[in-house]
Amino acid sequence: MATDHPDPGSRLDRAPTADHSFAVMAYGDSPFLGDCLRSLRDQTRASTLVLTTSTPSNFITDTAAAFGVPVMINPRRAGIAADWNFALAATPARHVTLAHQDDVYRPAFLDLSLAALRNARGAALAFTGYDEIDDQGAVVTSRISVVKHLLERLTLGAATRVAPTRLRRFLALGNPLPCSSVTFDRDRLGDFAFSDAFQSNLDWDAWLRLADAGQVFARAPARLVGRRHNPLTATSRLIREGVRQREDLILFRRLWPGPLAEAIAWAYGLGY
């Protein structure tokens, strides 16, 4: 649990990777924050960690302190995009992973993500596969996760370098690419920022904008992130409030003619 203190003796004697940081985005008092921090501490390749939040609390401060992670407070509580952009700029490292507080990362996540970036020349970011997990961390399946994994297999196969045209095919029937699986190369992103026009689909919008700009994505196909989906998550709240459904339709209309976009959005929503 998040209140458990890490065992200092379990840390590997390694120097952190100088050009990478995990920016852990905390919002509210998630009972899974400690699990996330522990999984990042236990990577096979060490990195620096920073925790960012616009909702500071004793719980967040104490949990971060238990893992020796500094906390940076965003003074502007202006929505999800503002929090993500703040986290992306919270470290001077060239490569940054925006770690989501409810998710956990397999030990090889960082090593394989950086290897994917090295091997896919010119890539602006690397992404990995993921599994859905329950509150205990066990892998589970849902209708939407089955569809997303199928889309990934059909459109990407074993590809480790994804050019813009192929990326748009990958994203044309939904968003199988969660932000928590992404490691950004900030040197190649230019003036990129997440758009505050979206609350739920700001990552999907970002990937499409980067594809339109001609950016290449690197890929480590292994499922290296465990993503929680339960009533406590922001995604669940946005689905309950109808925000996710409205934003899905906006993005499908960007990709497909009107009536077809509406039909795809309706079918996609059946998986929630």
Q: What 3-state class would DSSP assign to 85?
A: helix
What integer pLDDT is reported at residue 200 of this predicted model? 83
Global pTM reads 0.88
Helix (H) or strand (E) holding 58: helix 58-66
In a domain, 33, yes or no: yes
**What pLDDT does 173 receive?**
87
Does residue 132 form part of some domain? yes
51 lies in some domain: yes
Of 140-149, 166-175, 192-201, 225-234, the least confident? 225-234
The CATH number assigned to the domain holding 189 equals 3.90.550.10
Largest CA distance in the chain: 59
Most confidently modeled range among 55-64, 132-141, 144-153: 55-64
**Strands in 54-175 per DSSP E:** 71-73, 95-100, 104-105, 123-133, 139-140, 161-162
3-state secondary structure of 98: strand
Q: With respect to residue 234, please indicate whether it lies within any of the assigned structural domains.
A: no
pLDDT of residue 151: 84
From the list 134, 130, 105, the residue with the least C-alpha distance to 233 is 134
* Residue among 70, 89, 95 nearest 19 (CA): 95
194-248 pLDDT, tens per residue? 999 988 899 999 999 999 999 999 999 999 999 987 655 555 555 555 677 888 8
Confidence of residue 192 (pLDDT cuts 50, 70, 90): very high
* Residue 33 lies in domain: 8-228
Do the domain assignments include residue 259? no
Does residue 266 fall inside a structural domain? no
Using alpha carbons only, give the angle 32, 242, 177 rounded to the nearest 5 degrees: 55
Query: How many structural domains does the chain have?
Result: 1
* Burial degree of 121 (CB within 10 A; 0-12, 13-18, 19+): exposed
Does any domain span residue 258? no
Residue 215 lies in a domain: yes
Looking at residue 190, its pLDDT comes to 87
Taking the C-alpha atoms of residue 110 and residue 113, their distance in angstroms, rounded to an integer, is: 5
pLDDT band at 272 (very low <50, low <70, confident <90, very high): low
